[in-house]
A and B are shown apart, each in its own frame.
Chain A
Amino acid sequence: MNCRSVESLFSSYVEDEISQEERRHLEAHLMGCRRCSIALREVRATLSILSQGMPVVEPSAHFDEDVFARIRSGEGLRPGVRELILELLSPLRLRPLYVAGAGVAAALVALALSPVGQGFMHPIPALPVASPTQAPATRIAAGPPAGAASPEAPAPVLADRSAPSSSRVSSVVASASQPGTAGRDSIVDGRAPTQRYTDEIINDQFYLERGGQGQDPSIVPVNETQDDGVYIVF
């Protein structure tokens, strides 16, 4: 244990809040270090002076009345603009704001990296507008949410007698109510996907070019190479 680490334990030692092991090391050090031994006595003497107290300052005789007068006048009961700004800018007040800001930033990064965020980064064009001849259920899906309907806007055709069964309606509404996923995963309503990610298109084209119908004539399988009759003999 060196002098520096011994010094850091002075207060704990004086107040008897030190572990047995630390006490043993510290006392062993003090036995051989006069400088630390004196420093410890000086700390004790400093504490003794501090315990004698400080010059006592008495509040003025009109202290109480001043406080009550300020309360009665309304001064100080509502924070002033300057006080609000100072409090807002003080580091203690800003600390929660920093934390909140960091949280929001982290959430945004997480969102951007998530599949939903990827959907935003590669925007999916809106679904084709449902034709008037489509089933009423589709019109329900394309209509505004019930809560957002304005008095002027036509109400969704919920009461159409020709509507299909309720389970079908709910499934279609469910798929259409998630605009971020409807185009990609619209298996629910039986339609083919209208939009894919760019990498999906590339992959599809790659495999299509090697497929039966769209085969590239320049690509010839190795085992089908024609024999040109030239051989290397070892």
Chain B
Amino acid sequence: MPSELRLVKKLELAELTDEDVMERCALGSETAFRALVQRYRSRIMNLVCRFINDRDRAEEISQEVFLRVYRNRERYRKSGKFSTWIFTIAVNLTKNEIRSRVRHKGTFSLDAMEEDSGGQGLAFPDLKPLPDEDLNASEIRRRVAEALEKIPARYREAVVLRDIEGLSYEEVGEILRIPGGTVRSRINRARLMLKERLKPHLNLEDA
């Protein structure tokens, strides 16, 4: 394909919605599939990583998500949002991973935490206020990630999709396959749990 024509096609794809690009992908366009990978690889990777806190495994699972998208491209229905569809695939694969870890390790996060500590035993984060509490933004983010890791998976999934990915309650319910009332209840409960874990780092002046 001449480079000019390829550029035109790329520009065309850039203007299309995710759903339109996915429709082209379903018709067999490899370029469309590449565009979807580029659009979503970072979001999916971060979503999975927030659930399991294991970068290498998160990358493998994210690749698997795109393989599933490709495998099921003809089953995609344009009536639904593409983001909801691909997030559902990612959440389901992540749930399988968590189940597998719980089955084999007793609890899913211990091995990841052990790796983080450089193999020197388990490093449960100490969330007590430090003597000179002056945490920068990246340190607070790290604490948030650790606090998220400690709450039960069903609450973590809901609050990550809502408060970090910024999805609507309806989308969260669709992805997790739970009714709206349960979504709200889980998100509220998750926020209360996080509040308890992050209490030492909360700034109540602006709240």
Please report A residues at the B interface, Cβ cutoff 8 Å. 7-12, 38-39, 41-60, 63-64, 66-68, 70-71, 75-78, 86, 90, 92
Contact = CB atoms under 8 A, between A and B. Distances in A.
Contact of B204 (A45, A86, A90): A45
A41 B202 CA distance: 9
A77 B64 CA distance: 10
B202 A49 contact: yes
Contacts of B159: 50
B184 A12 contact: yes
Query: Counting chain A CB atoms within 10 Å of each CB, which of B55, B71, B188 scores highest?
Result: B188
Contacts of A53: 141, 164
Nearest to A11: B188
Contact of A10 (B55, B192, B198, B199): B192
Contacts of B137: 52
Contacts of A49: 140, 144, 198, 201-202
Interface in B81-122: 92, 95-96, 99-100
Chain A's interface: helix, strand, loop or mixed, by majority? helix
Contacts of A56: 42, 46
Nearest to A10: B188
Contacts of B155: none
B34 A64 contact: yes
B21 interface: no
Given A42-B204, A43-B192, A49-B140, 11 more contacts: A38-B204, A43-B195, A45-B195, A46-B191, A46-B198, A46-B202, A50-B159, A52-B140, A55-B142, A63-B63, A67-B66
